[in-house]
Amino acid sequence: MEKTEKRKRGLACLSPERRREIASMGGRSVPPEKRAFARDVALAAEAGRVGGGSATPENRMFHKDNDLARRAAKASAQGRARRLKEAE
């Protein structure tokens, strides 16, 4: 089986400057006076609390299963090491 060279696609193939420019467009698309969180700090704080508590305790697998969390962290570290080695 031949190993094909991976090419960057989409935003990954753009320069960091161009990606930054595109990302800033999202912030400029809505005028400051229409940004709800910019006007209402209490609303932003409440949204943060709601978002943080949206998963029920039964669905927080890593919270309940330390072995699962340990295996996931190990797999993630191995994946990072493999990608770094391939990039060399």
**What local confidence, expressed as pLDDT, does residue 60 receive?**
65
- How many angstroms separate the CA atoms of 44 and 70, rounded? 33
Terminal C-alpha separation, the chain = 21
pLDDT tens per residue across span 14-54: 999 999 998 888 777 777 777 777 778 888 888 777 766 66
Nearest to 35 by CA among 26, 21, 23, 51: 26
- How many angstroms separate the CA atoms of 57 and 63, rounded? 8
Q: What's the pTM value of the predicted model, to 2 decimals?
A: 0.33
